[in-house]
Amino acid sequence: MNASVLTDNVLTIDGPGGAGKGTISGLLAERLGWHLLDSGALYRLTAYAAGKHSIAFDDEAGLAQVAENLDVAFPVADGAVQTLLEGEDVSRAIRTEQAGERASKVAALPAVRTALLKRQRDFSQPPGLVADGRDMGTVVFPGAALKIFLTASADERARRRYEQLQQAGVDASLSSLLQEIQARDARDTQRSVAPLKPADDAITLDTTRLSIPEVVEQLTEWLALRGMTSGA
C-alpha cells in the first residue's frame, strides 16, 4: 500500500510523550468505531514476537519478516486499549525493561524499519483509522485527511506521569521525571530520521489546560468539519 491509499478517513495524532496521545486516540477510536494503531508498541511487539518464534535478534531478514507479518490488534473497550499479538493480550508483557531493550535492538535495523512502515500503513482500513505516534502525519500517513499534533508543557507532562506512577503505587521523583521528559524531547526533535515535529498541514493543540473530554470533543468537532464519519 502506498501513502496515498485509504487516507480519507485517517486521523493522525502525533506529539511528545505525556501529551495525552494514547488516551485520546483510544477514546476517539472507540467513539468513531474506527481501527486504532499504537505505533509506539510495534517495535516492542516485533521483538516479543521474534522471541516467541525463536528468531535471533541479529537475524535482520528474519526480524523484518516478523515485523511485516505482525498479527496485532489494538481493541478498545471503555476507553482502555489492549494490545493483542496473535490473539494474546500482551499489553503488560511488552512493557517490561527487557522488552524495551530488545525493542531498541530491532529498531536499529533498517530492514525492520522498512517492514514496519508497510505494516503501519496496512492498518488503514475501512471505516477509518486513528493513528497514534510521533511520525504518523509526517512519514507514515502524509496524505491523512486530518493531522493533529498534541502537545503540553514539559512541567504538565511530568506532573501527569507522576500522578500515573503514584496511582500505580510506584515511587517517583517529579524533578527526575521532568528531566527525563526534557531529555527525550531533545532527542526526539533533533534525531536525523523522522524527527518529532508537526506536519506542515497539522493542527497543533496544546492540552496543558484541557481535560481529556475537552480534547476529545475538540477533535470530534474538527473531524465533523472535514466531513469525516463521527459515529458519535
Q: What is the per-residue pLDDT across 176-201, written as a single tens digit (0 to 9) for each?
A: 999 999 998 888 888 777 788 999 99
Which fold would CATH assign to domain 10-153+202-225? Rossmann fold (3.40.50)
- 26 annotated to bind ligand: no
- 231 annotated to bind ligand: no
- 22 annotated to bind ligand: yes
- 15 annotated to bind ligand: yes
- 23 annotated to bind ligand: yes
Q: Which amino acid is at 220?
A: T
**Across 94-115, average pLDDT:** 86
Its pTM stands at 0.88
- 18 annotated to bind ligand: yes
Domain ranges of the chain: 10-153+202-225
- 19 annotated to bind ligand: yes
Q: Which residue has the cell 492540552?
A: 207
Report residue 6's pLDDT band, with 50, 70 and 90 as the boundaries: low
Q: pLDDT digit string (tens) for 13-61?
A: 999 988 999 999 999 999 999 999 999 899 999 999 999 999 998 899 9
Instruction: For residue 107, give the nearest of 59, 49, 57, 43 by alpha carbon.
Output: 43
Burial 134-159 (b: 16+ CB within 10 A, else e): bbbbbbbbbebbbbbbbbbebebbbb
CA distance 91 to 82: 6
The pLDDT of residue 168? 81
